Amino acid sequence: PLAIMARLERLAISPKQKELSLLVGLGYSAKEISEKLGISQNTYKEYLQSIYFKLNINRKEDFYALLNS
């Protein structure tokens, strides 16, 4: 978790997006993340799409690679 958190600190995304990204990186499901953050699954998807756009990535695999590199 600390390594993922350190990587997230360097990214130009909002604190809420960093929180969501950390949970993704830790392997939580969309449903679990939505419940933990108190957001709908649609909002989860919107946040994730916004993160992908900001980081210029297109696939979940690329996102995982970024978080775990």
Instruction: Divide the 69 residues of the chain into consecutive groups of 10 and give the mean pLDDT of each group.
Output: 83 92 93 97 95 91 86
Q: What is the pLDDT of residue 16?
A: 92
Q: What is the pLDDT of residue 28?
A: 95
The alpha-helical segments, DSSP class H, found in the chain are: 2-9, 15-25, 30-37, 41-55, 60-67
Report the half-sphere exposure of 13 (CA within 13 A, side-chain side). Answer: 23
Q: What is the pLDDT of residue 60?
A: 86
Q: What is the pLDDT of residue 5?
A: 85
